[in-house]
Copies of this chain bind each other. A is one copy, B any other.
Amino acid sequence: MTNPLPTGATIGILGGGQLGRMLSVAASRLGFKCHIFEPGANPPAGHVADAVTTASYEDDAALRAFADAVDVITYEFENIPTSALDLLETLRPIRPGREALRVSQDRLVEKEFLAGLGLKTAPFADVASRADLDTAMETAGVPGILKTRRFGYDGKGQARIMEVSDADAAFEAMAGAPAILEGFVDFSHEVSVIAARGVNGEVACFDPGENVHRDGILHTTTLPARLSGAQRTDAVLLAGQILNALDYVGVMGVELFVTPKGLIVNEIAPRVHNSGHWTQDGCVVDQFEQHIRAVAGWPLGDGSRHSNVEMLNLIGDDMDQVPELAKDPAVALHLYGKAEVKAGRKMGHANRVLGAA
């Protein structure tokens, strides 16, 4: 058992976006300081962090100085260059660990990992070449979605194949990147479990939220989700199975399709997750503090919910709604302080508290 990190210690966070920002705020509630490592200028997390390193992930000297300045390292996104991790892990603990990153950085590896645990996934097939795609359409089925194996998020790096004749265009859209074909799943709705595991193996889950997407980006998450008691139990059990198999430390987002035949795992994210933002206004310990507690070796919150919540993402000029949302006494605003509004950019979110859970 690792000793808990004492209050006053410094947590290093790779990535300075809104997730790092909200992690830093949560860490401050436990008396921790945060140090952000981010290549881009003026990162949102920097506004509420004790220190910021602005450097490339290829800058070994900057990585070393960052590691020297912190007690433990975590991250807000999964696509951290392997070379940076190779260096950092010789200097400080990285939580969650490398195995979670290895699995979640590659859609094919992830699907094989999940299937290996006996969990249901969408039918899938490896697509390394145009010829592979023809075979894949037979095994994984059409309609389906062709996705790059790596570096996809928010619907980027994806092409739909509604019929076999879409195959050429879809393959072109991958621009030569290794891909995976995922067959469509006939699901009624999507939910996600925000699960956490501590350094001592303790697991805690927040109640699943129900997600609605728009244009491939999360639009709302609503609590409670439409799920039977048995489905809720299944969701928690399978999340626990994933965390234990990875010897995971931290918060993970697990997206699930709800189908008549049971829950199907869509994807996992080894970090705090947009579909867990509702916890900020529905729980005593939110997903951000839960993650900090886990990586710091502290006891986890139990995930219980005091209030029902609808989380609404504010994307691009959804920011025009802020003056109205600010007047609504049931709405908690969470804006990210991004300098420029851009189409498709996550600018903030609004948690509408719907009443006692």
Point out residues on A near B: beta carbons under 8 Å: 4, 7-8, 21, 24-25, 28-34, 46-50, 281, 284-285, 293, 298-299, 301-302, 304, 306-307, 319, 322-323, 326-327, 329-339, 348, 353, 355-356
The SS class assigned to the A binding surface is mixed
In the complex, A299 Cα to B328 Cα: how many Å?
9
Cβ-defined contact, A25 with B48, below 8 A: yes
Instruction: Give the distance to chain B from A352, nearest Cβ to Cβ, in Å.
Output: 9
Cβ-defined contact, A339 with B284, below 8 A: no
**Chain B residues whose C-beta falls within 8 Å of the C-beta of A306 in the assembled complex:** 306-307, 353, 355-356
Count copies of this chain in the complex: 2
Cβ-defined contact, A33 with B353, below 8 A: no
**Chain B residues whose C-beta falls within 8 Å of the C-beta of A25 in the assembled complex:** 25, 28, 48
22 A-B interface contacts by CB (under 8 A): A7-B319, A7-B322, A8-B339, A21-B28, A28-B337, A29-B333, A29-B334, A29-B335, A30-B333, A30-B335, A31-B336, A31-B337, A33-B47, A33-B337, A46-B50, A48-B48, A48-B50, A293-B326, A299-B326, A299-B327, A304-B329, A306-B353
**Chain B residues whose C-beta falls within 8 Å of the C-beta of A32 in the assembled complex:** 337
Cβ-defined contact, B348 with A31, below 8 A: yes
Chain B residue at smallest Cβ distance from A6: B322
- Contacts A31-B336, A322-B7, A335-B7 given; indicate if A329 touches B353 (C-beta within 8 A): no
